[in-house]
Amino acid sequence: MASLIAEIVYRGIFQKNLAARVARGIVLSARKSGRWGIAFGRYGDSPQRNGIPAKDFAIVADTKEELEQNMARYEPKHTDVTIVLDDTLAKGVESWAWYGLQPINKLTVPNGTVLMTSLQSFDSLIEDVHKREEPYTLALIRAKASFSGLWVYREDHTEVRVLGALAKIAPQFLPLDGVCQAIQEIDWGSDLKVASAKKAHDRLESRVVKITEGNAEAPFAFEKPKWWEMREGVTIPAIPIGKPKEGGEGYVPDRNPYFKKYTTRTMRPVIDFDTCVKCNLCWISCPDSCFDVMPDGTFDANMEACCGCGVCEAVCPVEQCVTMVNESLFEDNASQWEMWRKDQAAYKTWLVTKIGDKQGTLRSHGFRFRGQYEQELAAGDLDSGGGVITAGIPGENAAHKTQ
Amino acid sequence: MAETTTTFTNATQVLEPFRGIKKVTIEEYFTSGHRTCQGCESALVMKLMVKAAGPRTIVLGSTGCMYVANTTYYTTPWVVPWMHTQLGSSGSAALGTAAGLKALMAKGKIKAEPINVIAFCGDGGGADMGIGAISATLTHKEYNSLILLYDNESYANTDIQISGMSPYGAHTTFSPPGKVHRIIHKRWKKNMAGMMAAGHPECRYVATVCASFAVDMMNRVRRALTIGGPTFIHSLDPCPKGWDYDPMLSHELGELAIETGVFPLYEVEDGQLKYYGKTRAIVDGRKRKPVREYLLKQGRFAHFIEEDLAYFQAKVDEMWEKWEIPAVVPFRRLDATKSVLDVK
């Protein structure tokens, strides 16, 4: 008598179909060894948005009664396996319907497993994941995050790699044979996918994370209003108008204090204040109003407000003035402009390192043109998620990113 | 405080057009911390809309992404007063609020000053459900209000169902391409702005806008609010979620929609039609880009074969070459040699 509870943490819309396949695959694999299962999404994540962290759950149990017991909950409070489909989620998630930031391992049971797709080293990932009171295992599938969209799916075998890895982590619930059989029969399955699942099973890397390891920062948190505190007619105080940056110059808007949106980000803009021509385009085109106006007329992307869409890079008329760089290369949300003002030479060195990181500037945010995913998969090793095609990236940086 | 027109009964704020991007208001009245997608063009429309309107503005929002994503769980990014209204009632809310303000001012309960009233609606809320109420509001010329329709071409909030504004052939939750039937959605999109302009002779201002051309867009909002009476603006908003594209392309797809002629930019002021921006260039003879450049950057059209692309192109060509007023008024005059009765 036992049950296995898995949560699948993923990037909204970009990985919606992928997460659904993983959840469904878990249940169908469990049936192959006579177990019962259910897969469901988290109600609070709907309606989903591009990039905002979201969750699906899959529960597998030996008996129907045990399954029902688990289904009686709104959503699982603890999970045996936390599956993370994008390694920038390691920094924690602030979902659509939540107040504050949750560490990625928050629901993982003591000695449970956090399973992640990543090309980063264990050490650099553990720096991002919040510390916790109990040890857990970090297991890595060596592949990059698979992003596509609602309609066109990127067939890079990520879903079966996760299932193969789960067969290694929890063979008592998901024996490899059952997983392979389920993949064979499912409408999106194939022999090649069975082979990918087996490879992922054999190649899974894992290591125990001790209680002394991890990011020591206390995640930002808020008190949620209690039902009896809710006001009649639901009125919400408006946001104040904002103020000049300093000495009456520039402008910093006030922002929603309870929802910061930055865990939606997988890449962030890195700005070269020396080459900025102060054209205002990034500032006016940002859907999230994340650019603060500096006294010198340049614009500082506020890292608590930026959700990483990349429109600023696309509209910037200066080559490499705004460059989107992978979130995994940064430790905090500090102001770039302040860093630049303090020491311009040091900032330049920092900037060149960040935007010069070839891997860190690769873009994988879904559909840019028809045939792109096929080209990507043909351009690189399928086991690690294929290569990268840079065609179709708009703006002045586009040429630079062509491999 | 903005300058005002002289007569109180229909006084409006006089909002001069921004002369270039450097002259745009620096303050934000719709700020950060909303639960929209990466690269959400509709959130940008909200930001630019109130930036243009200024602080003495009341915004009313009918249900849709811009309601749900912007005011959830007791938090908001709005700086100006905002109120939710039902899905189909952006028109009624605009009219009622404008009338209410007028009554309160007439009774001396609040200071007499022109306050902008803007009601926004999505394409589902505006072009499908709320069209009757919007139409009614556009006939009430004694009340100043602007209705802004942000059109992302589907019911995007509830995960992309077809609306009357979804383009031909698009993949949506209601129209997944199949093995037997490739094209499920076969209806051509409504011509909202043209319909509003043609059907409401006393509405003084109707315009189409796209946030990829931010200053042009804000100046259309300013004109609508300054001219007074009920006014209508239709904005085309690329939607990374429903159109299925890399959010970085939001700005570019807006530009392409104009350059391919799929969406025209124009304004109708006191019955006079004026094309503007890149649409003006098309009318003046610049070649339209082929629609495939726009369509094939979007996952929702990934199932199109050459035949579908050709059909889409032909329909857009028809808009420009056959319509009585290109891209605005679709019907044609009868051949002068035939009388009405000859035509069955």
With 50 as the cut, is the pLDDT of residue A313 above it? Answer: yes
Q: Say what the alpha-carbon torsion angle A45, A46, A52, A55 is, to the nearest 10 degrees.
A: 40
CB A367 within 8 A of CB B245: yes
Residue with tokens 């994008």: A86
Interchain pair B37, A51: CB under 8 A: yes
CA dist., res. B172 & res. A60, Å (int): 32
Tell me if B37 and A52 make a contact (CB, 8 A cut-off). Answer: yes
Rounded mean pLDDT, A107-120: 96
A98 contacts: CB under 8 Å, gap ≥ 6: A44
Is some CB atom of chain B closer than 8 A to the CB atom of A194? no
A188: domain CATH number is 3.40.920.10
pLDDT at site A229? 80
Same domain, A196 and A121: yes
Backbone angles phi, psi at A306, to 5 degrees: -70, 130
Tokens standing for residue B288: 């339209």
ipTM: 0.95
Q: Residue A50 is nearest to which of B48, B73, B240, comparing CB atoms?
A: B240
Residues 225-284 of A with CB under 8 A from B: 225, 230, 234, 236, 238-242, 251, 253-261, 264-265, 279-281, 284
The residues, any chain, with a CB within 8 Å of residue B118's CB and separated by 6 or more, are B49, B50, B53, B57, B58, B59, B60, B94, B145, B146, B147, B148, B221, B225
Looking at the structure, tell me whether residues A162 and A241 fall in a common domain: no
Q: Is residue B11 part of a domain?
A: no
Task: Tell me the two tokens of residue A1.
Answer: 């008598």
Helical packing angle, A16-32 and A176-185, nearest 10°: 120
Q: Is residue A331 part of a domain?
A: yes
If DSSP codes are grouped into helix, strand and coil, which group holds residue A387? Answer: coil
| pTM of the predicted structure, to 2 decimals | 0.95
Question: What confidence tier does A402 reach under pLDDT thresholds 50, 70, 90?
Answer: low
Q: Are A71 and A59 in contact (CB under 8 A)?
A: yes
For residue B16, is it within any domain? no
Residue A399 lies in a domain: no
CATH code at position A314: 3.30.70
At A358, which helix (H) or strand (E)? none
Q: Compare CB distances from B247 to A50, A242, A251 and report the shortest one's residue.
A: A50
Q: Give the residue among A260, A286, A281 at the shortest CA–CA distance from B77.
A: A260
The dihedral through the CA atoms of A157, A160, A162, A168 has a sign that is negative
Average pLDDT over residues A291-317: 97
Per the structure, the complete domain to which residue B83 belongs is given by 21-342
Note whether A83 and A162 are within 8 A (CB).
yes
Co-location of A280 and A141 in the same domain: no
Q: Please give the full DSSP string across A104-133, using - where no structure is assigned.
A: TTSSEEEEEEEEEE-SS-HHHHHHHSBP-S
CB contacts < 8 A (A, B): 221
Could you give the number of structural domains in chain B?
Answer: 1
Q: Does residue A103 sit in the same domain as residue A194?
A: yes
**Is residue A23 domain-shared with residue A68, that is, in the same domain?**
yes
Please give the residue range of the domain that contains residue A286: 231-257+265-361
**How many CB atoms are closer than 10 A to CB A137?**
16
Domain membership of residue B12 (yes or no) is no
pLDDT for res B6: 45
Residue A376 lies in a domain: no
Report d(CA B46, CA A287) in Å as an integer: 9
Do the chains contact at B244 and A256, CB–CB below 8 Å? no
Residue A108 forms contact with B (CB below 8 Å): no
pLDDT at B73: 80
Q: Which parts of A118-190 are beta strand (E)?
A: 136-141
Taking the CA of residue B19 and the nearest CA in chain A, the distance in Å comes to 14
Per-residue pLDDT tens digits for A156-212 = 999 999 999 999 999 999 999 999 999 999 999 999 999 999 999 999 999 999 999
Are residue A44 and residue A167 in the same domain, yes or no?
yes
Query: Shortest Cα distance from B279 to chain A (angstroms)?
Result: 20
State the total domains in chain A.
2
Q: Taking a C-beta distance cutoff of 8 angstroms, is the pair B78, A235 a contact?
A: no
Distances (CA, A) of B180 to B72, B162, B177: 42, 20, 8
Helix (H, G, I), strand (E, B) or coil at A67: helix
Of A391, A382, A336, A396, the residue nearest A363 (C-alpha): A391
Is B14 within the bounds of a domain? no
Chain A residues touching B248 at Cβ < 8 A: 309-311, 313-314, 324, 363, 365, 393-395
* Cβ within 8 Å, pair A365-B74: no
Of A51, A242, A288, which has the smallest distance from its Cβ to B43's Cβ? A288
Instruction: Name the 3-class secondary structure at A72.
Output: coil
Residues of A in contact with B253 (CB under 8 A): none
> Does residue B265 form part of some domain?
yes
**CA angle, B164 as apex, A96 and B43 as ends, to 5°?**
35
| Pair A184, A251 in one domain | no
**Secondary structure string (H, E, C) spanning chain B:** CCCECCCCCCCCECCCCCCCHHHCCCCCCECCCCCCCCCCHHHHHHHHHHHHHCCCEEEEEECCHHHHCCCCCCCCCECCCEEEECCCCHHHHHHHHHHHHHHHHHCCCCCCCCCEEEEEEEHHHHHHHCHHHHHHHCCCCCCCEEEEEEECCCECCCCCECCCCCCCCCCCCCCCCCCCCCCCCCCCCCCHHHHHHHHCCCCCEEEEECCCCHHHHHHHHHHHHHHCCEEEEEEECCCHHHHCCCHHHHHHHHHHHHHCCCCCCEEEECCEEEECHHHHHHHCCCCCCCCHHHHCCCHHHCCCCHHHHHHHHHHHHHHHHCCCECCCECCCCCCCCCCHHHCC
Q: How far apart are the first and last CA of chain A?
A: 54
Is A41 an 8 Å CB contact of chain B?
A: no
User: Do residues A8 and A149 both lie within one domain?
Assistant: yes
Mean pLDDT of A125-152: 96
Same domain as A102, residue A33:
yes
Q: Hey, which residues does A113 pair with through a beta bridge?
A: A81, A137
Give burial (CB, 10 Å; 0-12/13-18/19+) of A348. Answer: middle
Higher pLDDT, B194 or A98: B194
Measured between alpha carbons, how far is A105 from A131 in angstroms, rounded to an integer? Answer: 9
Give the whole-angstrom CA distance, residue A318 versus residue B276: 27
Disruptive mutation site among A11, A50, A93, A235 for chain B (greatest number of B CBs within 10 Å): A50
- Closest chain B CA to residue A98: B73
Same domain, A198 and A294: no
Amino acid in position A340: W
Residues A367, A371, A372: CA angle, nearest 5 degrees: 50
Q: Encoding tokens for residue B228?
A: 């007074």
Of A103-112, A309-318, A378-387, minimum mean pLDDT range: A378-387
Q: Which of B263, B330, B329 is nearest to B291 (CA)?
A: B263
User: Is A41 strand, coil or helix?
Assistant: strand
**Is residue A224 in some structural domain?**
no
The structure tokens 């509405």 sit at B203
- Token code pair at residue A47: 């309606």
For residues A205 and A243, state if they share a domain: no
How many other C-beta atoms can be found within 10 angstroms of the C-beta atom of residue B270? 9
In terms of DSSP bridges, do strands B230-236 and B205-209 run parallel, antiparallel, or are they unpaired?
parallel
In a domain, A221, yes or no: no
Contact yes or no for B179/B191 (Cβ under 8 A): no
Q: What string of pLDDT tens digits covers the 344 residues of chain B?
A: 455 554 456 789 999 999 999 999 999 999 999 999 999 999 999 999 999 999 999 999 999 999 988 887 888 999 999 999 999 999 999 999 999 999 999 999 999 999 999 999 999 999 999 999 999 999 999 999 999 999 999 999 999 999 999 999 999 999 999 999 999 999 999 999 999 999 999 999 999 999 999 999 999 999 999 999 999 999 999 999 999 999 999 999 999 999 999 999 999 999 999 999 999 999 999 999 999 999 999 999 999 999 999 999 999 999 999 999 999 999 988 776 666 555 54
Q: Is A115 contained in some domain?
A: yes
* Cα(A202)–Cα(B89) distance, integer angstroms: 59
pLDDT in tens, A7-38: 999 999 999 999 999 999 999 999 999 999 99
Chain A residues whose CB is inside 8 A of the B22 CB are 280
Residues A238 and A187 in one domain: no
How many alpha carbons fall within 13 Å on the CB side of residue B312? 27
CA distance B254 to A132: 46
Cβ within 8 Å, pair B71-A236: yes
Partner residue opposite B28 with nearest CB, options A52, A150, A253: A253
Whether residue A367 and residue B78 make contact (CB cut-off 8 A), yes or no, is: no
The answer as to whether B170 is a domain residue is: yes
| Model confidence pLDDT, tens digit, residues A216-247 | 999 988 887 788 887 777 788 899 999 999 99
Average pLDDT of chain A? Answer: 94
pLDDT at A281 over 60: yes
Q: Report whether the peptide linkage leading into residue A240 is cis, meaning its omega lies within 30 degrees of zero.
A: no
* B150 contacts on A by Cβ (under 8 Å): none
The interface residues of chain A toward chain B in range 127-146, judged by CB-CB distance below 8 A, are none
CB contact, 8 Å: A393 with chain B? Answer: yes
CA–CA distances in Å: residue A153 to residues A14, A33, A148, A150, A299 = 9, 29, 6, 7, 36
A385 falls within a domain: no
A324 in contact with chain B, both atoms CB, cutoff 8 A = yes
Torsion sign across C-alpha atoms B37, B42, B47, B50: negative
CA distances from B308 to A126, B164, B177, B289 (A): 50, 19, 13, 17
Lookup: tokens for B291:
């629609």
Question: What is the arithmetic mean of pLDDT over A87-98?
Answer: 89
- Residue B128's pLDDT is 96
So what's the pLDDT on residue A46?
86
Q: What is the pLDDT of residue B336?
A: 63
**What CATH number should be reported for the domain holding residue B321?**
3.40.50.970
In a domain, A372, yes or no: no
Give the one of A13, A253, A368 whose C-beta lies nearest to B297's C-beta: A368
